[in-house]
Structure formats: C-alpha cells, structure tokens
C-alpha cells in the first residue's frame, strides 16, 4: 500500500507523530502517524477496539500521550488541557453524542460556545442553517430528540466553538441508512464551508466516499494510508471493512 508520508508543511492542520497512548498496562496506540491538511476530509477507519476513539481523545486533550507529538498548525498541543484545545480551534463531536439530556437544544449549543463571552450569532445561524430541525426544536430537552437529531446536536455543539478542525467520532453509529446519508451530506457541507474534518468511522463505504484520504487503524497501529479511491478498491480493505462483494 502506498504511504502518503506528507511532510511537515504549512498546509498541515494536524500532525500526529509516533503517538503512544496507554490505559495503565494496555497500550491502545502504538506509534500512530497521521496528517490532516487544510481543507481536507480525512477518515480514520478501523474495527471496534482499534484505537480510533483513543486517538481523538488524545487530540482533544482528554488523554495524555505516553510518547509522541500532536501538532495543530505546527504547534505542540499534546498535554494541554481540553478547554485550551477547544480555544485553539479543535471541535470534537464524541462517540455516542454525549448531549446533555436535561438541557434544551439551545443550552447544549451554548455549552459548545463557552469559550466566547457571548454566544456568537453567526455560529448559531450557521448551525441552524445546517440543521433546521435544531432550530425548530431549540427549546426541547436534548434527551427527547431522536438519535439522528442528537447526532446533529453533537456536531452543532462542536461547531459552536468555531473550530478549524472538526473531530467526528462515528457519527453514523446506530442510525438508519437514510439519516446516515443526511449526516454525511451535512459533513460534506461543513467541509465545503471551510472546516477541516477528521472523521472516525466503522462505516467505511460512506466515509471513503466523502473523504479525500483515509487511514486504517488496527490494534493501535496505522496499517494503511492512501487516497480514498485506492482504499475503496483495495482487496484487503474491501474484505475487512466493506464486506465481501461490496459495491
């Protein structure tokens, strides 16, 4: 498999170099290298337990790497606290949405904008433009939304911090195919509006249609890195992540 091996260029928004993350004795990431360039959608694929969530949590400052570097626009960000990572411009829609169920849609969105003294009107307008259903339900308790709406809220909340880089952890998880298509269309729109995206997915077929490039993570190690088109036609990827005979 070809390796992109992108160098430390000024267009790199995010660079992971030799990233090691452990949970006690469990080594979840064993030297991950990954680059996301300005304006890209990059997907990180891998089976359950591969280390995808761990990777995103390390980027967000929720987990401290044991070794390696995380650079955002060239600056080291590993080891800095999560709220400072948000303030630098990294938004994270976590696995399982994690909306605040007893708070309204609007209150959830406000939480995403906590780094600003006042909720920025343009961010709120952008989120309501992308997700009209959230505008309709702005006063509804988040816990009463459907799964798809909660996912939209999780993405919207991350956008409220005005991120340059949006981290999405399995946004399609547990959603019906029609809703998944809607979510992926919106991710594309968010990217076209100028936000760089790192998309973690088990849904490889959809993710590779959206992404320019992809990485495949297996038990804490990147085993493939290639343009999405190459990954889609790669026999090993097809067998492991797209199912036999996938179109």
Chain residues binding ligand ADP by CB under 6 A are 23, 26, 28, 46, 48-54
Question: DSSP secondary-structure letter at 141?
Answer: B
Closest CA to 182 of 158, 211, 210, 141: 210
Q: How far is the CB of 95 from Mg ion (least distance, A)?
A: 5
Find out whether 155 and 145 touch, Cβ atoms under 8 Å: no
Q: How far is the CB of 220 from ligand ADP (least distance, A)?
A: 7
**For residues 76-105, which are near Mg ion according to CB under 5 A?**
95
* Residue 132 contact partner, candidates Mg ion, ligand ADP, none, CB within 5 to 8 A by sort of partner: none
- Would strands 41-45 and 196-201 be described as parallel, antiparallel, or unpaired? parallel
Query: Using CB under 5 A, which of the segments 4-12, 48-56, 203-211, 230-238 binds Mg ion?
Result: 48-56
The answer to the question of residue 151 lying near Mg ion (CB under 5 A) is no
Distances (CA, A) of 196 to 65, 137, 159: 23, 27, 12
* Residue 54 contact partner, candidates Mg ion, ligand ADP, none, CB within 5 to 8 A by sort of partner: ligand ADP
Number of residues this chain uses to bind Mg ion (CB under 5 A): 3
Q: At 40, is the secondary structure helix, strand, or coil?
A: coil
Q: How far is the CB of 57 from ligand ADP (least distance, A)?
A: 7
The answer to the question of residue 53 lying near Mg ion (CB under 5 A) is yes
Distances (CA, A) of 55 to 47, 103, 110, 218: 14, 28, 26, 12
CB-nearer residue toward Mg ion: 52 or 97: 52
CB-nearer residue toward Mg ion: 37 or 53: 53
Residue 144 CB: number of other CB atoms within 10 A? 13
Closest CA to 240 of 34, 45, 28: 45
CB-nearer residue toward Mg ion: 69 or 95: 95
Find out whether 43 and 199 touch, Cβ atoms under 8 Å: yes
* Residue 226 contact partner, candidates Mg ion, ligand ADP, none, CB within 5 to 8 A by sort of partner: none
CB-nearer residue toward Mg ion: 91 or 94: 94
CB-nearer residue toward ligand ADP: 200 or 210: 200
User: In Å, how far from its chain's centre is CA 215?
Assistant: 13
Q: How far is the CB of 53 from Mg ion (least distance, A)?
A: 3
Quick one: which H or E segment has residue 228? helix 228-233
CB-nearer residue toward ligand ADP: 30 or 229: 30
* Residue 46 contact partner, candidates ligand ADP, Mg ion, none, CB within 5 to 8 A by sort of partner: ligand ADP
Find out whether 50 and 58 touch, Cβ atoms under 8 Å: no
Residue 220 CB: number of other CB atoms within 10 A? 22
Q: How far is the CB of 55 from Mg ion (least distance, A)?
A: 9
List contacts with Mg ion (CB under 5 A).
52-53, 95
């Amino acid at each position: 498999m070809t390796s992109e091996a992108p160098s430390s260029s000024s267009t790199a928004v995010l660079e992971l170099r030799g990233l090691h993350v452990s949970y006690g004795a469990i080594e979840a990431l064993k030297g991950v290298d990954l680059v996301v360039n300005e304006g890209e959608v990059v997907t990180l694929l891998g089976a359950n337990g591969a280390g995808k969530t761990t990777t995103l949590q390390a980027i967000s400052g929720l987990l401290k790497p044991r070794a390696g570097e995380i650079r955002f626009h060239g600056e080291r960000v590993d080891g800095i606290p999560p709220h400072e990572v948000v303030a630098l411009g990294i938004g994270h829609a976590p696995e399982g949405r994690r909306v605040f169920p007893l708070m309204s849609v609007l209150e959830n969105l406000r939480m995403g904008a906590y780094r600003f003294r006042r909720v920025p009107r343009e961010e709120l307008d952008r989120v309501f433009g992308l997700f009209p259903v959230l505008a309709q339900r702005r006063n509804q308790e988040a816990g009463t939304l459907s799964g798809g709406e909660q996912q939209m809220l999780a993405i919207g909340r991350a956008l409220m911090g005005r991120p340059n880089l949006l981290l999405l952890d399995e946004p399609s998880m547990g959603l019906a195919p029609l809703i998944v298509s809607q979510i992926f269309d919106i991710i594309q729109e968010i990217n076209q509006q100028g936000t760089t995206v790192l998309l973690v997915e088990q849904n490889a077929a959809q993710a590779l249609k959206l992404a320019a490039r992809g990485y495949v993570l297996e038990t804490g190690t990147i085993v493939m890195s290639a343009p999405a088109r190459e990954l889609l036609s790669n026999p090993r990827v097809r067998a492991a992540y797209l199912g036999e005979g996938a179109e």
